[in-house]
Structure 1
């Protein structure tokens, strides 16, 4: 009985499809494992915040338990936490708006105009982030005290702006460098002024970068602790300082600490959700390629 010989092409295609399926399975397995590793601390924190105080730090941990919102109720019943949370929201939001108003135009000028000693100016701007915060917090303390900015919201807003300004200028300059000048020239040919070209042509093209530096500036200011510890006392205390208060010299309130930490994550998560569609493009610096 005669048998038909398999075609070499079909065998190669079968082997290729098999290899692609194996690679796909391995890739998804690695991604799932990495996602589990990254998200597990967040799950642990959330589970601690939903456990009764006596059950939060038991070893071995209770994987199956009855969730409770007792810790959150206790947390938000404390007026000092609500005040500190509101302080951080107001101060951080104001600092993000102010740093964008200052940093974005400054980056545009550095990108489009011939500035004398431009490289030196950029290095000088970047040098504000070279020193560790512990090295500059004491001079800021004396400056703020002499200017009556100690323990004020305005003082903390200015501090957050000084922390994030160099980041905004450097990142946004990279975005503006990637936007073709011909777009603005075409707008001016149509009768637009330089400012109109900047507002109607350049800013929309740089929107991913603006959202990226906004979220990064928000996070850096939101989690800042050292300057709040030294430059505030009672009126402008940030939420990070109040969360730190749950760590005592003899004991740690684990359940309350977990609940406060989860409450701190909420504003960042909401901001990320709102700007999610711009964030991926912004972090990759891929707005427009210069011709």
Structure 2
């Protein structure tokens, strides 16, 4: 009887364990498939950059080939590429710092203070992202010409700030709304000023949001092409415009295009890796959400 009583339980445990194993295998299979689909274009781009110009766009593709760094050497030896790359690093980095300095306090004010017609103000801020870039590039061109900002690094920094400011304000306002005001009230009871509470209490709690919008702002500014094409000519040319130069009217330099595109990805990857450490540290503390 004891054996008969235990056999059904053992069978059920075995079936449950089998189902859990199958679910785990299926989950990993889906994740591996999705990872392959996401990473394959990056592999394809990197492999093209390591092929000679004659092999880069061959059909059928050469899966086995002797890699070469000739394309990258050509990029490094090109003063135009080095200058454009440095321009983008300087302009995009400065724009990220500036947009955070403006957008984060603005979002805090909108979250904590009673602003007349706050909803209208938020919609007005968001409206800067509603129009397609092609619709606003000509007015910006006229303004830049009027104020001597055309083909200047300062002008491009201001342009990058203008296209990312609404994103920073909206995302950070949502983060500040989720942080209870009781934390600041407790700090003020201990003698802290409003600014000290914002600096020492709110900003550390909102660190995940700050680094998130910093990442997005960096990527949006780094890959921007249209404004650089219209608003620069020589002194402030971004790296995206240099990459675009490999696309000619009669032919495309596929190997050089792939090498330049791969080089463009490197700063984004480094920035993501560097920021991810602080992002994970911020998330590990957690944020108390309002109920």
Partner of 1:206: 206
Q: How many residues align?
A: 288
Contact in 2 for aligned 1:212/1:282 (Cα 8 Å): no
Deviations 1:224-252 (A, max 9, x none): 00000000000000000000000000000
Deviations 1:29-77 (A, max 9, x none): 1111111111000000000001111111111111111111100000111
Partner of 2:91: 91
Partner of 1:226: 226
Is structure 2 residue 280 aligned with structure 1 residue 289? no
- Once residues 242 and 181 of structure 1 are traced to their aligned partners in structure 2, the CA distance between those partners, rounded to angstroms, is 48
- Once residues 8 and 106 of structure 2 are traced to their aligned partners in structure 1, the CA distance between those partners, rounded to angstroms, is 64
247 and 3 in structure 1: CA distance in 2 versus 1, 3 angstrom threshold: same
- CA RMSD of superposed structures (Å): 1.7
User: Alpha-carbon deviation of 1:287?
Assistant: 3.6
Partner of 1:109: 109
Partner of 1:180: 180
User: Alpha-carbon deviation of 1:101?
Assistant: 0.3
Contact in 2 for aligned 1:141/1:230 (Cα 8 Å): yes
Residues 111-260 of structure 1 aligned to structure 2 (within 5 Å)? 111-260=111-260
User: Alpha-carbon deviation of 1:4?
Assistant: 4.4
Contact in 2 for aligned 1:208/1:287 (Cα 8 Å): no
- Once residues 175 and 281 of structure 2 are traced to their aligned partners in structure 1, the CA distance between those partners, rounded to angstroms, is 11
User: Alpha-carbon deviation of 1:277?
Assistant: 3.8
TM-score by length of 1: 0.96
Partner of 1:270: 270
Secondary structure in structure 2 of the residue aligned to 1:48? helix
Contact in 1 for aligned 2:207/2:279 (Cα 8 Å): no
- Once residues 214 and 55 of structure 1 are traced to their aligned partners in structure 2, the CA distance between those partners, rounded to angstroms, is 38
The list of structure 1 runs, each at least 4 consecutive aligned residues, that deviate by more than 2 angstroms after superposition, is 2-7, 277-283
- Once residues 241 and 105 of structure 2 are traced to their aligned partners in structure 1, the CA distance between those partners, rounded to angstroms, is 33
Please say which of residues 204-213 and 5-14 is displaced more in the overlay. 5-14
Secondary structure in structure 2 of the residue aligned to 1:275? helix
User: Alpha-carbon deviation of 1:108?
Assistant: 0.2
Partner of 2:71: 71
- Once residues 38 and 266 of structure 2 are traced to their aligned partners in structure 1, the CA distance between those partners, rounded to angstroms, is 18
- Once residues 157 and 282 of structure 2 are traced to their aligned partners in structure 1, the CA distance between those partners, rounded to angstroms, is 25
User: Alpha-carbon deviation of 1:288?
Assistant: 2.9
Deviations 1:187-245 (A, max 9, x none): 00000000000000000000010000001000000000000000000000000000000
Contact in 1 for aligned 2:99/2:168 (Cα 8 Å): yes
TM-score by length of 2: 0.96
3 and 112 in structure 1: CA distance in 2 versus 1, 3 angstrom threshold: closer
- Once residues 287 and 56 of structure 2 are traced to their aligned partners in structure 1, the CA distance between those partners, rounded to angstroms, is 46
Please, which runs of 5 or more residues in structure 1 have no aligned partner?
Answer: none
User: Alpha-carbon deviation of 1:279?
Assistant: 4.6
Partner of 2:7: 7
User: Alpha-carbon deviation of 1:7?
Assistant: 2.4
Please, which runs of 5 or more residues in structure 2 have no aligned partner?
Answer: none
Secondary structure in structure 1 of the residue aligned to 2:54? helix
